[in-house]
Amino acid sequence: MDARETSLRFYQNNRCTTEICGSVTRSYFHHEGNLLAQRTAGADTPLLLFAVNSSNTVMSAFEQAGRTQYRYTPYGQRPASADSNMPLGFNGEQLDEVTDCYSLGNGYRQYSPVLQRLCSPDDESPFEEGGLNPYAYCVGDPVNNVDPTGHFSFSLLFMATTELASLGTLTASFIVKDPKARDVLQGVSGLLTAVALAAGAYNLGKRIPLRPSRGAPVGRGNTAQPPGIPQNNNHRSAARS
């Protein structure tokens, strides 16, 4: 006998912090925008510590039994054999194990790494920041761009280059002996860091909705999807005794 389970997600500061699916509750921990860990109540593996890259993609998960490594295609597809107890994946987004889609923008749109496109049109296309193609993901370059909102992407390369320049300038400030030159270099380093942080804050914070756009539901699988993508209104799982 099958039992239907509805998945509920709770957001704080535009990030999913808790997910309840049946008898399993997952809590996700972040610090200064970086994904750190996952705690699961009602599972054999209660705590996972993450090793992520610059875009928060989970590359490894550590537990008492050891380490599990994850691989992705450039568009974020993960092998089907990956641990279903660890739904976080590409760019730190949540992967729905039924549809194999990532939920973007607090549940606003579903992204399919298999089809390499979004599953519903962008309401900001074609004349606003959504771009001409309402289904495009990261303007066709998901390696160097991220799209956390489901509306538009921004470049990781710009932020990384600015941070590296800031670090190099700060390092040089500790080498030079002239106090005035040291002050100038430290000021430039601080300015570059501020530019990188401002760019990240603008792109990640300004346009991410505090709630799903235009009445879109927060729960999984209720976003309109094109032919070929199964609707996921409810999850089926074996009834627990």
Beta-carbon contacts of residue 53 (< 8 Å; ≥ 6 apart): 59
**Omega of the bond prior to 126 within 30 degrees of 0, cis?**
yes
pLDDT for the residue numbered 28 = 94
**Crossing angle between the packed helical segments 179-201 and 156-175, to the nearest 10 degrees:** 160
* Number of structural domains in the chain: 2
pTM for the whole thing?
0.61
Distance, in Å, from the CA atom of 95 to the CA atom of 84, rounded to the nearest integer, reads 9
Containing structural domain, residue 30: 2-152+208-238
Residue 57 shares a structural domain with residue 20: yes
Residue 148 shares a structural domain with residue 158: no
Residue 184 shares a structural domain with residue 67: no
What are the C-alpha distances in Å from 130 to residues 117, 124, 145, 190?
Answer: 13, 5, 14, 32
Residue 164 shares a structural domain with residue 97: no
Which residue, among 68, 37, 63, has the nearest Cα to 50 in the 3D structure? 37
pLDDT for the residue numbered 199 = 52
pLDDT for the residue numbered 185 = 53
**Sheet containing strand 47-52, strands side by side:** 7-12, 15-21, 24-31, 34-41, 47-52, 58-63, 66-69
pLDDT for the residue numbered 33 = 83
| Residue ranges of E strands in 79-143 | 94-96, 101-104, 109-112, 117-118
* Residue reference for tokens 């627990």: 240
pLDDT for the residue numbered 222 = 40
- Note down pLDDT in tens along the chain; length 241 residues: 345 678 889 988 888 899 998 888 999 999 888 899 999 987 777 899 999 998 899 999 998 888 989 999 999 998 876 666 788 999 999 888 888 899 898 888 999 999 999 998 888 777 766 667 788 888 888 888 888 887 766 554 444 454 445 455 555 555 656 666 656 555 655 565 555 555 554 444 433 433 444 444 444 444 344 444 444 444 333 334 3
Distance, in Å, from the CA atom of 237 to the CA atom of 168, rounded to the nearest integer, reads 53
Q: Which amino acid is at 131?
A: G
Residue 118 shares a structural domain with residue 161: no
